[in-house]
Amino acid sequence: MKQSTVVTKIVMSLLFAVVLVYLGGAIWRSISRPYNSVLAYRYTMDDSVEADGWLVRDETVLSGGNGILDVLLDEGEKAAAGETVAVFYRDQAARDRKHQLTALELKLDQLNYYANETDQVQESVKLDDEIVEAIAGLKYSVATQDFTRVSDEAISLKNLVFRREYSYSSDGEAGVQTQITETSQEIQSLNAEAALDTTALKTSLSGIFSAQVDGYESLLTPGSLAGLTPSSLRALTGQPPGSTDGVGKIITSSKWYLAAVVSQEDAQRLSKYNTVSVSFSRAFSGEVSMQVESVSGAENGEAALVLSSTRQLSQTTLLRCQTVNIIFNH
């Protein structure tokens, strides 16, 4: 029994000693280091206003034609006056003929190039080097999954191989000239057939092309923003949109607008700024520097805001109604 009591006293003494050491260490740390360090994260908060904005542009809808449609321009691509924007094919046979024509025209270009080359030996050596470089470039694009370049590089490689084939041809110059004549005649024949079932749609205006027609092109115009108020903006956007039938549209002015309704308090702040930054919520993730065009008078505690920009038009052609952040401190 006495032995058990002695063991208990020893254990209690050890526990008491540990507690004293812990408390002593804590007191010493609080005296020597009065401030504790903690992990912190840096975060930048923008002073901004969220609003539902409408993008407004000078837009002309392109329409006309029936059949299978091939749009030739990319979204946001520049279009020149008189340029072919799209082609209508009456049926699939007409469309297949177009692919055949493209291949023949490419062949004719290569034949003419070869026929006009005076030093065939030097040209052959040059082509060998270019083919090796083209293969390496195509391989790199595939390996890095840069598929935007793969198609162009594949066509370029095909052209080089085609030219190289004729540099080794045993037909000679006379044989090449014969092929030029035959290919030209075949192209003329196919073009005559295409004239009966293929229609090219050209634009009479220059500007930026967009394939999206949403029906607001005739409702939301720069002219409709004059004297804009919250109620007039809601009336404009509340109207049923027009027809969405159309091949696409041409945006004829580089200046575009953003119209939104904000609170009276935010409007008063915005009226003191010449420019602000605007970030978009969908489809376009960048910020755009925009000029404050107008801030309307108060209407039931709200005001209409109109901003404008000449930047990044090609990147915003698909946007119409967007939730945006209008940033003050940029």
153 and 233, same domain (yes or no): no
Give the DSSP H or E segment for 50: strand 48-56
Number of domains composing the chain: 3
DSSP class per residue in 289-324: EEEEEEEPPPBTTEEEEEEEESSSTTTSTT-SEEEE
Polymer length of the chain: 330
248 and 323, same domain (yes or no): yes
Structural domain includes residue 77: no
251 and 269, same domain (yes or no): yes
Structural domain includes residue 69: no
- The runs of H, that is alpha helices, within the chain are 2-32, 92-116, 120-143, 147-167, 172-197, 230-238, 264-270
Asked if residues 106 and 159 have their Cβ atoms less than 8 Å apart, the reply is yes
Structural domain includes residue 302: yes
180 and 237, same domain (yes or no): no
* 264 CB-side CA count, 13 A: 6
Per-residue pLDDT tens digits of the chain, which is 330 residues long: 555 576 677 767 777 777 777 777 667 666 766 556 666 656 555 688 999 999 999 999 999 888 999 999 999 999 999 999 999 999 999 999 998 998 898 888 878 877 776 555 566 677 778 888 888 888 888 888 776 677 777 777 777 777 676 666 656 567 778 888 999 999 999 999 999 999 999 999 999 999 999 999 999 999 999 999 999 999 999 999 999 999 999 999 999 999 999 999 999 999 999 999 999 877 777 899 999 999 999 999 999 999 999 999 999 999 999 999 999 865
194 and 151, same domain (yes or no): yes
d(CA 238, CA 194): 45
* Segments forming the whole domain that contains residue 126: 90-200
pTM of the model: 0.71
Structural domain includes residue 127: yes
Structural domain includes residue 79: no
**Can you say whether residue 117 is alpha, beta or left, with left for phi > 0 and alpha for psi between -120 and 50 degrees?**
beta
Structural domain includes residue 22: yes
29 and 52, same domain (yes or no): no
d(CA 66, CA 89): 8
Question: Residue 37's Cα: distance from chain center in Å?
Answer: 45
115 and 224, same domain (yes or no): no
